[in-house]
Structure 1
Amino acid sequence: MAGKDSGHTSFSPDIIPPPLKLSWITERGFMDTYPPPGVIVSDNIVYTRDVLLNGSEFETGTGARATVNGSLIWRFSGASPAVAYHDYLYAWNNESVISLKNGMEVWRQPVTGPNSPILYKDLLIAGNVTAFHHHNGSVIWTYHPQLLVQETRHTRIDSYLPLTAGNETVILAINSMESELADAGSGSGASTAGDSRTAFAYKSSPDEQSCTLIALDAASGKERWIQKIPILSGSAPVISGDRVFIGGNATVRSFWLNDGSEIWRAALPGYSRTLSADPEFLIVDDRFGHNVTALRLEDGKTEWIYESEGRSRSMSIAGPVLYIVGTMPSAGLVALDIKTGTPIWEKEMPADWTSISSQPVISGDTLYITTMTGKTYAFSPAPQDQNPRPNPLPSSEIVLSITALICIYAVTRRES
C-alpha cells in the first residue's frame, strides 16, 4: 500500500485478524505535516518520513527501519519515501524523483508539480505528469494539462489531487475554484485620474467549484477523456476494476474508465471522501461528521452505515476487516466486519497518542500507523489462548440451588 496502491483502494489481501497488540514504537523526529504520510513497506524494511533538526532548520528525510522491531538501518536526507519495489526505494522532494538502493542514490530525475510518485507496472508516475521507467529513470512520456485560460475578470485557484492508476489508465484530478472579480468601486481609491485601469476586488466565496478528471493512457500518456464535475473532492479518486470513483460535496460518483461516462451517483450527507474499496464495497467517509458508509460498487446503493465516535479518520481494508483509526476527542483503532459494518474489536490508543494519524498501512501480519507527533506504531495479532481452560466449577448460587432441589426431592419421596 502507500504508493504501491496506485488505485488508492487501501485494500490488502493480507489478513490481520483482531485483536491486535502493540509490537513496537519508534521515533521519527519532530512534528510532521498534516496529515502525516503513511509508511512504505518492502522486503522486511519499513520506510518512514523523518523530520530532523539540522542546525537551526528542520530537514525532511527518509528512515529505513527493520520491520521486526523498528530499529534504524539507514537514513537519507532531503527527500521523503514515496514507493518501494523490492530493495529499491523511490523518494521525492517536490523537485526530483530519486531512486535509492540501500540508502545510496541510483538515479535522480526532475519533476514539475506537487504529485508524489506512484508505481504502476514498470512506470513510476509523478508530477503533472511524467512517467519514468522505474529501473533506470528514463522518461517514457510527459503530459501537460491544458486547463481553460481564465478571463481577465476571473480568478481561479487549482489544486492537484494525488495521481491514481489502474486498468491501463492514469487519472489526473484537479480541484478548481473560480470567481468573477467584482468592481472595487470608485470609493476604493484603487483608480486614479489618468489611470484607465479598473480595480477589482476578490469575492469572499467562489462562484464555481469543480473537479476535473483527466484520463490518460498509461502506456503512452495520451489523453482519453475529460470529465468536469461540480464538486470539490477531498480525496484521491479510487480505481477498482474498470471503474473510477470520486466523492465531494454531499455526493459520490462512479465513471467507466474506458470512456468517462457516468454509471451512478449517490447522495450522501456531509463532505464525502472515497477512502477505500474491496471487490464489493466502496468505503466513504464524512470528513466533518461521524458516518462511515459502505456503498455497493455495482450500483452505489448503501449497504451499511457506521457511526464513529472519533474524527479525523483514516482507514484501510485487510481482507474481511476494515480498520479505522480516528482521533478527537480520543484516539482509537476500530475493526469492522467489511460486509456488515459490525464492530468486532476496538482498542484505545496509547496515552501519548494525541495527534492526527496517517492512513493505516497493512503489510504481512503488521499494521503500521504514523502520527504528527513524529512516531510510528506497529501492531500485530495478539496471541490467542491455545489451551483454553475447562469450564469453571459451578458458582455457589448454582450449588445451593441444586442442593435445595435434592432436599425437596428427598422429602417428597419420604412423604410418599
Structure 2
Amino acid sequence: MSGLTRRQFLAAVGTAGFTSSAGCVSGGDQPTYAGEWSRRGFDDARTGFTPANGPTGNLTTAWRASVFEAYPTSSPVVSDGRVYYLHTRGGHDVEHESVVSAFAAATGEELWRTTISVTTTDQPVYHHDSLAVAGTSRAPAAHRTALDDVADDRLYARTFEELHALTTDGELLWSHPVPTTEQSYPVVAPVVVSDGVAVTATFGDRTPPSYVVGVDAESGRPRWTAGFNAHKVPWTLSAADGTAYVPFLGGDAGLVALDIETGRRAWELSLPADGPVTVAGETMLVPLDGDPESILAIDRRTQETRWQFPAGRRTESGVAVAGELVYYCADRMVVARRLDTGELVWSFGPTPAVSLSWTPVVAGTTVYVVAERQNEDGSPNYLYALDATTGTVRGSGRVGGSPDTGGLAVVDGAAYLALGRGELLCFESCGPSVAGRCLGR
C-alpha cells in the first residue's frame, strides 16, 4: 500500500507546523495531473512526447507506493487521474502472481488490484514491461471522438504466456494465449492497439517460426497470425497509420512492416536492427547493432537512408522525437539531433553519466533523463529535467534506487517512475515544505 501522502501529511501536522524552507520553492503551479501517458514511449509510434508540462526545479518525491519487486521493473501508465502498474510477486520454484494495480495520481492511494495470471513457470521474467491503456473504437482515427476513446478504454498487459485485457476499473475481460519461450526478451513489449486490433508477438529466443498475432481488441478473439521462418527474435513493436513495425534481432535481423488489419507483409528490410523503432512523420528511427552501434533515420515510404550516426547504447534504449529534434541516450550522454539532417544540436553528459538503458521522455519543452552522479557517495541516480532546445538543466531530484529498465510517465505537473526495489514514485516540483518534506503549492 502507499506511504503517507502529501495531503495526509499536511492534515497530520496542521497549519501550525507549516513552513517554507529555502531552496524548496522552485515549483510551479499546483499539478492538475491532467493528460494521458498510454504506454512506455507514450504512443504506438514510440515518440516519447506529450504536450503536458511536467515538473521542473527541485524535483521531489510527492508520494511513494509499494509494489512487487519482480523483474522487470515495469513502466507506469497514466489515464484519467489514475496511475496503472503491472507487477509480479514470487520467483523461481514458487508460485508467482502477476497483478495490475491502480493508484490515485494525486495521492498514491491504491484503488484496486486485479490478478491476471498465476503460474509456476520457472523463468527469469514473469511479465513483460507491457502495460498500455488504449481505446477499442473501430472508427478511423481521423473520425474518432474523445468520447469514443474514453468509453472504450481498456488496459492491456503481457505476462509470460498470455495477452490480457482489463477495464480501467480492474475487471479482467479476457486472456489470449501468446506464449514466450526460452529467454523472454524483450522485457519491454507494450501491445499495439489500432483500428480494433491488438497486436503482439511470440517474444523470446525461439526456434523459428516466430509469430506476430493480431486479436480483436474488444473480445480477444484471434484475427490473424503472421509467421516468420527466416526470423527468430521479434523485438518491441511500433505502429503508425495502420502499419505495425517489427524489428527482428540477431543473425536473421531485419525490419518488417505489417498491415494491422490483415497481418499482410507490406515490406521487409535486411538490416542489423537492435532496438525499438520510433516513427516520426515520414521518418523512422532505427537503432542498429554493429561496430560501432548507431541510430539510423530512414524514409518510411521509400526505406531510403536519410542519416546515420554512432551511438553506444543498450538494446532496450529507444529514441524520442519532439518537433524538429530527436533525442536518445548513447555513450553516457543524452543527445539531441535535428530530425531532418541528423545535425548535433546539444548533448548532456557524460558527467553526470546518463543511463545507457534510458529512453528520453519529452513533456512540453522539457526532456527527462536519468543520470548517475559518480562524484557523490554511492553514485546515486538523479532524474534531470533539461531544456528541450538547449539541453540546459531546468531541475533535478534524487532517485533512491535504480530505474534503468523502467520508463517515465509524465502528465501535467507530475512524473511517475518505478524502481527495482519495489517502489512506485511520483515526482513533483517542490514548493513549501514541512520539516523538510515537500508539500507543493
Alignment pair present for 1:238 and 2:274: no
TM-score by length of 1: 0.73
Query: Aligned pairs, how many?
Result: 336
- Determine the structure 2 residue equivalent to 1:399: none
Shift of 1:260: 2.3
Choose from 89, 94, 98 the match for 2:164. 98
| Identity among equivalent pairs (%) | 20
1:132 is matched with 215
1:214 shift after superposition: 0.3
Query: Which 5+ residue runs of structure 2 have no aligned equivalent?
Result: 1-36, 118-126, 135-149, 202-210, 434-441
SS in 2 for 1:370: strand
Per the TM alignment, residue 270 of structure 1 is displaced from its structure 2 partner at its CA by: 6.2
Q: CA deviation at 1:275?
A: 2.6
- Find the counterpart in structure 2 of residue 331 from structure 1: 381
Structure with more of its chain in strand, by fraction: 1
Counterpart in the other structure of 2:62: 23
- d(CA) in 1 for partners of 2:432, 2:242: 43
Q: Contact 1:310 / 1:330 at 8 angstroms: preserved in 2? A: no
Query: Residue 354 of structure 1: CA displacement?
Result: 5.0
Contact 1:278 1:317 in 2 (8 A): yes
* TM-score after normalising by structure 2: 0.69
Contact in 2 for aligned 1:50/1:374 (Cα 8 Å): no
CA 1:222–1:59 in 2, change beyond 3 Å: closer, same or farther? same
CA distance in 2, matches of 1:269, 1:67: 35
In 2 relative to 1, CA 145–137 (structure 1 residues): closer, same or farther, beyond 3 Å? Answer: same
Match for residue 307 of structure 1?
Answer: 349
Distance (whole Å) between structure 2 residues aligned to residue 46 and residue 371 of structure 1: 15
1:291-343 residue CA offsets vs partner (Å, 9 max, x unmatched): 22112111112111211413435231101100112347311011111111122
**Which residue of structure 2 aligns with residue 123 of structure 1?**
197
> CA 1:345 to 1:121, structure 2 compared with 1: closer, same or farther past 3 Å?
farther
Mapped to 2, the partners of 1:93 and 1:267 lie a distance apart of 34
* 1:340-387 deviation line (CA, Å, top 9, x unaligned): 11222222234xx256452211133321000110100011233489xx
Indicate conservation of the 8 Å contact 1:225/1:259, yes or no. no
Please, which of 377, 382, 386 is the counterpart of residue 425 of structure 2? 377
1:102-251 matched pairs, under 5 angstroms: 102-113=169-180, 115-127=189-201, 128-147=211-230, 158-177=232-251, 211-229=253-271, 231=272, 233=274, 235-248=275-288, 249=290, 250-251=293-294
Measured on the aligned residues, the alpha-carbon RMSD in Å equals 2.7
Query: Which of 1 and 2 has greater Rg?
Result: 1
Aligned residue for 1:147, secondary structure, equals coil
Specify the alignment match of 2:154 in structure 1. Answer: 88
The higher-RCO structure (CA 8 Å, 6+ apart) is 2
Does the 8 Å contact 2:273/2:286 carry over to 1?
Answer: no
**Larger mean Cα displacement after TM superposition, 138-147 or 77-86:** 77-86
Q: Quick one: distance in 2 between partners of 1:370 and 1:271?
A: 19
Quote how far apart the aligned CAs of 1:164 are: 0.6
SS at match of 1:143: strand
Whole-angstrom distance in 1 between the partners of 2:305 and 2:418: 36
Q: Which amino acid aligns with 2:88?
A: V
